[in-house]
Amino acid sequence: MPKKRQNRGRHKGSKGHVGVVQCDNCGRIIPRDKAICVTRYYSPVDPQLARELEKKGAIIMKYPVEKCYCVSCAIHYGIVRQRPREERKPKPSVQI
């Protein structure tokens, strides 16, 4: 039977078993290599206050926050997109 994706939708390669993570949105358990992880920087200081403090020369730290999403949540939030029909892999022709 033909495979739809050469990597089977994962970044595992030939590693064998990989751990699991929980989706930060819906709580679904997914393999770590299949999860779509996004690192965003979070500042605990209010943005308006931060601008005023930076004008006076203060340095405000931003902390990295990594969130992992399952494929369906990543599509819903717009982190990843479906390719247009023309760019998708063509279906193999069935021979009888």
Please report the sign of the dihedral spanned by the C-alpha atoms of residue 79, residue 84, residue 87, residue 93.
Answer: positive
Domains of the chain from N-terminus onward:
20-80 (3.30.1740.20)
Query: What pTM, to 2 d.p., does this model score?
Result: 0.75
Which is more confident, 94 or 76? 76
Q: Give the pLDDT of residue 26.
A: 95
Strand locations in 5-73, DSSP E? 20-22, 29-31, 36-42, 63-69
- For 49-93, the pLDDT digits (tens) are 999 999 999 999 999 999 999 999 999 999 999 889 888 877 777
